[in-house]
Amino acid sequence: MTDILASVPQILLNLARGVGIGMVIMLPLVAIIWWLHRRDQRRWEPHEQLREMEQVIREETLPDWQREVIQEHRQRQAEIAREARRRLRLPDEEP
């Protein structure tokens, strides 16, 4: 029993070394993944803005009654999303 207790500090030291080595290995990988994600976000942002502007232009060319139908649909979808968030007790989304 005393042999097991005597080896506890060595076990803890080995565990700390393993965790430290794991962190040293994982930190660069996490940094690279984060950097790639940020790069992709910057790359796709202009495409998203272009798509949104195209949608605005399309809607501007629609007759008034179709725009109203689209707006009513979006309002219903937003109400459903708010109700779902409320039921799940999630914070409201930022506009």
Would you state the pLDDT for residue 95?
A: 55
70 close to 62: Cβ distance less than 8 angstroms: yes
User: What are the pLDDT digits (tens) for 49-82?
Assistant: 999 999 999 999 999 999 999 999 999 999 999 9
Arithmetic mean of pLDDT over the chain: 90
Distance CA 67, CA 82 (A): 22
User: What are the pLDDT digits (tens) for 21-56?
Assistant: 999 999 999 999 999 999 988 888 999 999 999 999
Q: What CA dihedral angle connects 38, 91, 48 and 57, to 10 degrees?
A: -160
Its pTM stands at 0.50
Distance CA 16, CA 22 (A): 10
Instruction: Give residue limits of the domains in the chain.
Output: 2-87
